[in-house]
Amino acid sequence: MRRTYLSTGYMSSNSVLKHTHFLYWATGITNTNLFELQRFQHCRYQSWTVGDSLPDIQHAKSVKDGSLHHLNVRNYVLNLYTKSKNLDYAHKLFGEMPERDVRSWTILTSGFARSGACRMVLELFKEMQVERVCPNQFTLSSVLKSCSALSDFRMGKGIHGWILRNGIDLDVVLENSMLDVYVKCGALDNAERLFETMKDRDTVTWNIMMGAYMRIEDMEKALEYFRRLPSKDVGSWNTIVYGLMRNGDERCALELLYEMVENGVPFEDVTFSVALGLASSLYVLELGRQIHSRLVRRGIENDGFLRTSLIDMYCKCGKMEKASVIFKRTRLRTKSKFTCDETKTEIVSWSSMVSGYVRNGEHEYALLTFRSMLREQIMVDRFSVTSILSACANLGILLLGQNIHAHIQKIGYILDVHLGSSHIDMYAKCGSLNAAWMIFKQTNDPNVVLWTSMISACALHGQGREAIRLFELMIKEGIKPNEVTFVVVLNACSHAGLIEEGCNIFSLMKEVYGIKPGSEHFTCMVDLYGRAGRLDETKEFIHANGISHLSSVWKSFLSSCRLHKNLELGKWVSENLLRLEPSDEGPYVLMSNMCAVNHRWEAAAQMRRLMQQRGINKVPGQSWIQLKNQVHSFVMGDRCHPHSTEIYSYLDELIARLKEIGYSTDAKLVMQDVEEEQGEVLLGHHSEKLAIAYGIISTASGIPIRVMKNLRVCSDCHNFIKYTSQLLFREIIVRDLHRFHHFKHGSCSCGDYW
């Protein structure tokens, strides 16, 4: 910090300046030395810290003893200013120097180059040409570095020509700088020609060429340069492994990493970080653990950047407990001791934990971590925001999502396409399609991601034709749909029974946009045919496209067989599915339920026993509802809720009233061999009915009831909710495993097609 001396015998700052200007006038001092005397006076009457004072004190000292008239002293002071990043003063001093040699120009250009002021470097180089000062190799390296940063091919090529015309000696550093210009400007032909003419090549030379081909995703050529490299240092290994990983060839990157270990190449911090990133990409926990043990042995586990990489690796490998242990160790340190770089790694660590919990389905922990992040005043970055919005979307908690939206606005983040798509997804999955539309319309210049999010929102809410309209409008706007867009719009056709439209879109994807269908596209088409009851066509489609190896296709087909009660075909489909995924619960549960619906109790029991023998457990049906700031969860027959007595009493009363207006339970849906009266009781206590009953008795009339369910809503519950909306004049919104159902005035938005 600067401290002004105010003790007796020293004039005030204003008095000093007035006195100084009077001396200039009285003694006839020219403007050339004005800057020097100002700096001398400023330094005399100010006290500085050591880091800031050296250039000023040296400048003042040289003015006082008259040594500043010597060129080497001026260059020395100029160098001090540039190294202390005080480029304004450096430029002023340079401008007032009566004579300047090549060293003066080099000091200033290199200083501006280090600070990133590349345009200024090029301007200085042009001034050198005007003053006929011949630059040396150091000057030219700084100028070429600036050309690279600006991707100024014309200037870079011109300098190269100037070097050749003037016979400047080319060393490997200068040639590397020229090579880097051509690479950064995308002139690979020029780079290749220069590379082949270079007499001396160091590791940097080869790394530049490897990086050039990685940038255009030509990994074969990059690997060729790597193999040709005579002496590979750790930087070369880091470059090729990281490049392969970034270009999606993680397996080859892993092989090279093991080869690096076999060759005894010592790991640097960057190597550890790349290796952890590779373990994260491949979800190879064992590799991550081996790297972690190496870090512990070297005693660098607590390095902020590596610690963050470790947290990210364990999160992506599904080991949240291990990630949490590493994360908590960082909290033991005093916050005030963090440097600027450590603060950045802290933010990344928090973001990694939030996204890790969301990725692994632990949404409650994600929300708790995010709350702690706010409480400890850690800066919330965009990565954390999108992750926490995803948690709200998956939990279907609208109020919390709205609060986070308000917090984002308070922070001041601009609603770009990435944040916009996260908001649309959150509002859509929380049942507020109108809010999703509002976000879509507010976002300027939407790209394919935003359009796809909005189409998905419409599909999720059963608005298939609106989804197709948006899809067609997007194409008219000149935005090219991608693979995800087609998955979303095909899914919309499937849930709305739009077979002809879905087939046309599937053909459009292949024939017009040249997109090869993936497993998700095929599954959507199987679902499209299956839901419509066209089971024979579904079977033909699977064989015609050679997709019998895809388990997702058979799962969709089996679900359609159950929906249309085709037990024999369902048995054949389940056999195909069990061959692919013998440990998946889906085929067992669906077949058991199909047998139960057809009163084939022994076959149903046999499937259940088979599940038990193989240690396969069925995911229990669960429904939840948010009231005020609390989420209430229910399972079938649940009596753990503190208000269970009131809930069951009201539910029984409600069912009795519904029967008076035409509702009747569908006893065929009971999956146990029990009497009809017992079956009605079992159906009456499904989780969504308990959640809706609690919502009714806990809220005022006219307020919509929003319930989330982890499985597909059964037809009896669907019928129950329709009659409830009619009897009580209440809007009831239910999100099941696949879509939203908006119940109002006795009808559902799905049109009973789900």
Q: What does the pLDDT average to over 422-443?
A: 93
Mind listing the pLDDT tens digit for each residue in 174-195? 999 999 999 989 898 999 999 9
Which residues neighbour 599 within 8 Å (Cβ) at sequence distance 6 or greater?
none
- Return the structure tokens found at 445: 């210049």
* Range with the largest mean pLDDT of 102-116, 295-309, 480-494: 480-494
Mind listing the pLDDT tens digit for each residue in 149-168? 888 898 988 888 888 888 88
pTM for this model (two decimals)? 0.71
Residue 88 lies in a domain: yes
pLDDT at residue 14 tops 50:
no
Instruction: Give the type of residue at 324.
Output: S
Total domains present in the chain = 2
Residue 522 lies in a domain: no
Among the candidates 37, 72, 99, a domain finishes at: 99
For 615-653, give one letter per residue: b (16+ CB within 10 A) or e: eeeeeebbbbbbeeeeebbbebebeebeeeeebbeebee
Among the candidates 99, 118, 135, a domain finishes at: 99
- Strand intervals (E) in 63-116: none
- Return the structure tokens found at 147: 């050309």
The residue range of the domain holding 16 is 1-99
Residue 320 lies in a domain: no
* Range with the largest mean pLDDT of 212-226, 335-349, 585-599, 646-660: 646-660
Instruction: Give the type of residue at 92.
Output: K
Residue 235 lies in a domain: no
Which residues neighbour 497 within 8 Å (Cβ) at sequence distance 6 or greater?
464, 531, 532, 753
Among the candidates 67, 99, 131, a domain finishes at: 99
As beta bridge partners, residue 705 has 732
Q: What is the pLDDT of residue 61?
A: 66
Instruction: Pinpoint the alpha helices (H) of 263-397.
Output: 269-282, 285-298, 304-316, 320-331, 340-359, 363-375, 382-395
Residue 75 lies in a domain: yes
Residue 629 lies in a domain: no
Share above pLDDT 70 across residues of the chain, in percent, rounded to a whole number = 86
Residue 33 lies in a domain: yes
- Where does the pLDDT of residue 91 fall: very low under 50, low under 70, confident under 90, or very high at 90 and above? confident
Residue 477 lies in a domain: no
- How confident is the prediction for the chain on average, in pLDDT? 83
Closest to 596 measured CA to CA, from 609, 605, 588: 605
| C-alpha angle 503-508-509 in degrees, rounded to nearest 5 | 100
Q: How many residues can be counted in the chain?
A: 754
pLDDT at residue 679 tops 50:
no
What is the rounded CA–CA span in Å between residue 5 and residue 45?
Answer: 7
